[in-house]
Structure 1
Amino acid sequence: MKVFQGIEELQQAVGTHLGYSDWHTVIQHQIDTFAEATGDHQWIHVDPEKAAEGPFGGTIAHGYLTLSLVPMLVWQIYQVDGLTMGVNYGANKVRFPAPVPVDSKVRAGVELLSVTPGAGGHQVTARVTVEREGGDKPVCVVETVSVLVP
């Protein structure tokens, strides 16, 4: 994990790749729990028998489940010391180029795009690319926006 000693040190890393998270295995229980939490019970996610006959050969994670893993994965990559708090501000763009079959391992990589001072703190924009072990395309690419308050 990369630890930055304050916003100024983080600003010096703009334009660089900060590293990769650990691998995380997406299991059926996690997919089912996400379906319960969101009400999205589409068969491609929660019906292993029907999904085995479907286009992916088994169940796949919801795209938004994959997106929801981003904070956990990013926290493994870097942190900034000396903050009062950090909050999610949103996302500029999200894409799901490839599915995440059940029992896949995924990890995230982070490229720091900008750190901009503002009234409530510093706005941090990063491109997070989530990849699947053995996959040929990313499973999620998102430009995240956070606000860090010193």
Structure 2
Amino acid sequence: MNDVMTSVEFNDLHKLAGKKAYEGEWMSIDREHLQMFSKATYLDPDLVDLTFSKNNEFGSDLIDGFLLLSILTYWNFKYFPMHGDRLWGLNYGLNKVRFVAPVMLSDRIRPTCTVSRMEKRGEGWFGVLDVTVEKEGSEKPAMTAEWLVLFLESPEK
């Protein structure tokens, strides 16, 4: 994890531009979390016809791309180098997401986040985060995403 910013103050977020913000640890997604994601997104056979999903060539151990995408939030909470009692980030959306290689239950993945831009916006900082999710043993990444986040500081109470 060399070359990674380990801590940055709110007013210095612009110093992250062009730098790697974090490289996460390897992890796997287990069946329990895959099933919880299915339930949370209403992919229940009592609610919808899942025949289309069952016809995929990878089988039921395929991790849904949207589950991978949702884990970006977990990784940012865990690894992003900005910390403080009044600091927070507002998910501003995504410019581009690509699911490049399939991820199965037994596969190990890890994120790398580089800040391509960080600009002052009002009282906060508008960041463009380039996240690549590696898949262990694969030449291709599992996913790439250009994520937009507005970093803010809550007023003192």
TM-score (norm 1): 0.82
Q: State the Cα deviation string for residues 28-84 of structure 1 (Å, max 9, x = none).
A: 111111111112354797xxxx78xx6226521110001011111233332314553
For residue 128 of structure 2, the aligned residue among 106, 110, 125 is: 125
Find out whether 1:76 has 2:91 as its counterpart: no
- Equivalent in the alignment of 1:106: 109
Letter in 2 for 1:69: I
Find out whether 1:147 has 2:147 as its counterpart: no
Letter in 2 for 1:139: A
Distance 2:31 2:83 in 1: 36
Q: How does 1:36-115 map to 2 (within 5 A)?
A: 36-40=39-43, 42=50, 55-56=57-58, 59-82=61-84, 83-115=86-118
CA contact (8 A) 2:110 2:134 kept: yes
CA contact (8 A) 1:108 1:130 kept: yes
Q: How far off its partner does 1:85 sit? A: 2.4
Alignment length (residue pairs): 143
Mark the runs of 5 or more structure 1 residues left unpaired by the alignment. Answer: none
Q: How far off its partner does 1:119 sit? A: 2.3
For residue 10 of structure 2, the aligned residue among 6, 11, 14 is: 6
For residue 136 of structure 1, the aligned residue among 130, 136, 139 is: 139
Distance 2:22 2:102 in 1: 23
CA 1:18/1:43 → structure 2, altered by over 3 Å: closer, same or farther? farther
CA RMSD after TM alignment: 2.3
CA contact (8 A) 2:16 2:118 kept: no
CA contact (8 A) 2:25 2:110 kept: yes
CA contact (8 A) 1:74 1:108 kept: no
TM-score (norm 2): 0.79
Distance 1:32 1:58 in 2: 10
Q: State the Cα deviation string for residues 101-139 of structure 1 (Å, max 9, x = none).
A: 112211100111111111252111110011111122111
- Equivalent in the alignment of 2:47: none
